[in-house]
A and B are shown apart, each in its own frame.
Chain A
Amino acid sequence: MVRAYSQEHVYKHPWERVTAASWRKFADPENKRTLSHILEVDTLNRKLDSNSGKLYTTRAITIHAPGPWFIRRIIGQDICHCVESTVVDANSRSMQLATRNISLQKFIEVEEKIRYDPHPENPTEWTTCKQETSIRIKPLSALASMAEKIEQKCVDRFQQNSAKGREVMERICKYLEAESSGIPI
């Protein structure tokens, strides 16, 4: 049983601003209220390929994911560790992120891929964001009948959170836009 879905969004901001916002998405204190399910984001590793202009990053993202009580009882915790790996290619102007959970894998596997590219019709001003998410609940015997419902709940939760994520991205883009044009904020 796997739920997969994809979403697309156009940011009316240049690629440079959108990718800068993406780095700040979880880190800015103001956004922590909106994205309250994100508890911690740490950069674990970073590598710059100075020949090609590619930047590789591995981050740890700790998510608070309170489920139904019986899930918590079985799992014994309601935080989940994810690893996000990112490649930014400054030469070709692309940013790719892939996030996967590394804890609770006995119960659930979530993978999210995001790409930011210049919009084909307006590459200097706009940016497309393509997002693919797949969620798989492991069918534990005791939970098999519930697993499908839980999967749908997870999908709903993810969609709510990615809508919040877009809202935060738009806000940071506006902030960066104001900052770069010297408007006092």
Chain B
Amino acid sequence: MGILREKKNTSLATSPCAQLRDAYHNCFNRWYSEKFLKGQWDKEECVSEWQKYRECLSQHLDDKHLSRFLEADGIADLMNPAGSKIPDAAPK
């Protein structure tokens, strides 16, 4: 506490995955526009890109808060009103 971190420490843990990430995101963006939005949502694509990218993430994502979302059921459900803080959020 109280000590400013060195600048080099702001370089991020997932940077080694940047190439795999771009490959996956490019594939996803294409699938999203050309298939998913046109009603062809029966089949997932970009599976191999996704697996390589995730494997990299699981090795480099050292933040525990984030890595739990990598688990199979780690879909965050922030829409769920039970988990939402918005109802208390009226200005006082």
Contacts and interface: CB of A to CB of B under 8 A. Distances in A.
Determine the main DSSP class of B at the interface with A. loop
Nearest to B15: A40
A48 B41 contact: yes
Contacts of A24: 29
Determine the main DSSP class of A at the interface with B. strand
Contacts of B91: 2-4
Interface string A30-53: 000000000110111111101001
Q: How many interface residues does chain A have, given as a range?
A: 35 or more
Interface in A92-116: 96, 98-100, 102-103, 109, 111, 113
B4 A134 contact: no
Contacts of A73: 1-2, 4
Q: How many interface residues does chain B have, given as a range?
A: 35 or more
Contact of B92 (A1, A83, A103, A111): A1
A85 B12 contact: no
A44 B36 contact: no
A183 interface: no
B69 A40 contact: no
A60 interface: yes
A117 interface: no
Nearest to A100: B78
A153 to B, nearest CB: 16
Given A2-B91, A58-B75, A43 B44 contact: no
